[in-house]
Chain A
Amino acid sequence: MRNIFQSAEEEFEIREVFRNSFSGRGYREVNLPVLERYETYESLQTIQNRKSLLKLIDHTGDILVLRPDVTIPLMREIATTYENLSEEVRCWYVQSVFRQSDDLTIPTERRQAGIELFSNQSAENDAEVIGLACLALTELGLHDFKIELGHAGILHELNRILQLTTDEQLQVKSYIQMKNRSELASFLQQHNIKNQTKDLLLETIFSYGEATSVFNRFREHPLNNQLSTIIQHIEAVYELVVASGYGNHVTVDLGMVNEMDYYSGIQFQGFSSTIGKPLLMGGRYDEVSQNFKAQLPAVGFACDVEAIFTVKTTEPRRIE
């Protein structure tokens, strides 16, 4: 637990690091309203996520929520200014978000520090954000972190191939999320998926580890076009991150499933060996802007500020 003075010092430090690292690259700091309309989230989020919203009612009877994330309100704000992407927009922020959880050890208010790049999908743009995530962690004094690289399109493609009901899709998603190979294998068997397809799917979904070995494996396999394109994209992003000097921090997880189901392209998560939960999460979300009647593809990440300073202040665990 940290006191109010530490908390303020940490916020100052992370702001300094973000400003110094990003302002020279065209990123500008943004401040967002704490109160949001409930309707904004009602249409966007799953039931599970809606339960985590902190709601209040104003004097007219309208329901408001304390912002549960930064990505959505920022997208709404940007969408009211720009309908289309005539120019790229770069933002960074350090803001609190509010989510309630059944797990009482998780605080309702957490601070996030992140960036968003409103730009068309390209390996360069995706790699820019991932490289900047590595830069931010390094500048904050973290060194033993790993960024896992995945892609939301893999699960979408899997659902398309398997033609499952909504319940079955949730079941499959939870097997993949838990990397539960044996139960997914028997699920596919029960659904009369051809052996060859089954093996290929399992091989894809459970590919994890050092990037080049994962990519090499897929060159030998006859993947369908969709999956090939996705894997080529991840590879292109990976190569660019390597070129920016952070290759040793990147690992590939083709079976990555994110709770935030608005991701549409590349997605990533950062971990340190010192704490058990993710330090940062991010990805591309090209369809979110449609909810605000705009066409604004975007990619970004958010760090958990408390997690980062826990890593910084915790003695490294005994070398095992």
Chain B
Amino acid sequence: MKIAVAKGRIAEKAREFLTGGGIVFPDTLLDERKLVITSKDEDYQLLFVKASDVPTYVEKGAADIGIVGKDTIMEDGRDVYELQDLEFGNCQLVVAGFPNSFPADTKSLTVATKYPSIAKAYFDKAGIRTEISRLSGSIELAPIVGLSEVIVDIVETGSTLRDNGLVILREIAKVSTRVIVNKASYATKTTEVKRCMELLEKGVEGRRANTHNT
């Protein structure tokens, strides 16, 4: 099984879950230059890729499984299965801006975002005309310098918004880390994929039990 994981926190968690299920990886994850690690039994390979590339690896079948945030999955709209919610990396995907910048009778808006597809789909559905600027970081700056009236972004604690005088105006979706699977892998390696899902599920349950105890 080839598993593409978003570099960083998701990669560490994914390895933690798999290790919890008895899959042993050599202790090299901290080596940042390593792009692939193989489990000791050689049944599993973790591929470390950029978060936004995970759905591409999975849809094309370069990886059987991918572990990545729901926001990336929604933005990319790839033809893959989404089999599990790993219940970490929880945050909200929101419309934010200065208070009163998105009144109920809004007809048109300027929007800055890392998620142009999600933003367009959301505002189209609400019947609001938009002019969308695609940014790749420091989205909160956009309303401050007048680049846009609102932003569409993920929010974890909301402190960055608050520090910049912005507030959440609407919630678009709840985001957490999900497991996606290539359709051909699911058809031709059903047993292996299902076993991997069970391991990850155990990891989720273990974590749930832990948070209960503390």
A residues lining the B interface (CB < 8 Å): 144-146, 148, 178-183, 208-209, 251, 253, 269, 271-273, 275-278, 320
18 interchain pairs (CB within 8 A)?
A146-B187, A148-B187, A179-B81, A179-B83, A180-B81, A183-B85, A209-B190, A269-B187, A272-B184, A273-B185, A273-B189, A275-B61, A276-B58, A276-B61, A276-B62, A276-B184, A277-B61, A320-B43
| B75, chain A: closest CB distance, angstroms | 13
Q: In the bound complex, what is the Cα–Cα distance between A209 and B59 (angstroms)?
A: 21
List residues of chain B with CB within 8 A of the CB of A182.
84-85
Cβ contacts under 8 Å, A275 to chain B: 61, 184
Q: How far is the CA of A271 from the CA of B61 in the complex (A)?
A: 11
Which among A180, A253, A272 is the interface contact of B188 at CB below 8 angstroms?
A272
- Bound together, the chains give a CA A277 to CA B61 distance in angstroms of 8
B24 within 8 A of A: no
Question: Which of A251, A269, A275, A277 has most chain B Cβ within 10 Å?
Answer: A277
Determine how close the nearest CB of chain B comes to the CB of A248; give it in whole angstroms: 12
Chain B residues near A271 (CB, 8 Å)? 183-184, 187-188
Give Cα A54–Cα B2 distance, bound, in whole angstroms: 37
Give the shortest distance, in Å, between B195 (CB) and chain A (any CB).
Answer: 12
* A-side interface mostly: mixed
Query: Contact between A179 and B82 (Cβ–Cβ < 8 Å)?
Result: yes
Contact of A276 among B42, B59, B190 (CB under 8 A): B59
| In the complex, chain A residues whose CB is within 8 Å of the CB of B1 | 320
Question: Given the complex, which residues of B lie within 8 Å of A183, measured CB to CB?
Answer: 85
Which B residues have a C-beta under 8 Å from some C-beta of A? Answer: 1-2, 42-43, 45, 58-62, 79-85, 181-190, 192
List 14 additional contacts besides A146-B187, A251-B187; criterion CB under 8 Å: A145-B188, A178-B81, A179-B186, A181-B83, A271-B183, A271-B188, A273-B185, A275-B61, A275-B184, A276-B60, A277-B59, A277-B60, A277-B61, A320-B1
Q: Distance in Å from the Cβ of B23 to the closest Cβ of chain A?
A: 13
**In the complex the two chains form, is B183's CB within 8 Å of A278's CB?**
yes
- Residues in B with CB closer than 8 Å to A251 are 187, 190
Residues of B close to A320: CB separation below 8 A: 1-2, 42-43, 45, 192
Closest 4 interchain pairs by CB?
Answer: A276-B61, A273-B188, A271-B187, A271-B184
* Interface contact A273-B184, CB-CB below 8 Å: yes
In the bound assembly, the distance between CA atoms of A179 and B61 in angstroms comes to: 17
Bound form: Cα–Cα A148–B184 in Å:
10
Distance of B10 from chain A, by nearest CB (Å):
18
In the complex, what distance in Å separates the CA atom of A42 from the CA atom of B42?
Answer: 52
> Please, how many angstroms separate the alpha-carbon atoms of A181 and B83 in the complex?
7
Please give, as numbers and ranges, the residues of chain A lying within 8 Å of B59 by CB-CB distance.
276-277
Question: In the assembly, what is the distance between CA of A320 and CA of B189, in Å?
Answer: 10
Q: For residue B85, which residue of chain A has the nearest CB?
A: A182
Q: Report the bound CA distance from A185 to B213 in whole Å.
A: 27
A145 to B184, CA, bound (A): 9
Instruction: Pick the residue among B82, B85, B188, B192 that contacts A146 (CB under 8 A).
Output: B188
Q: How far is the CA of A269 from the CA of B186 in the complex (A)?
A: 12
Say whether A276 contacts B182, CB under 8 Å.
yes
Quick check: A278 and B184 within 8 Å, CB to CB? yes
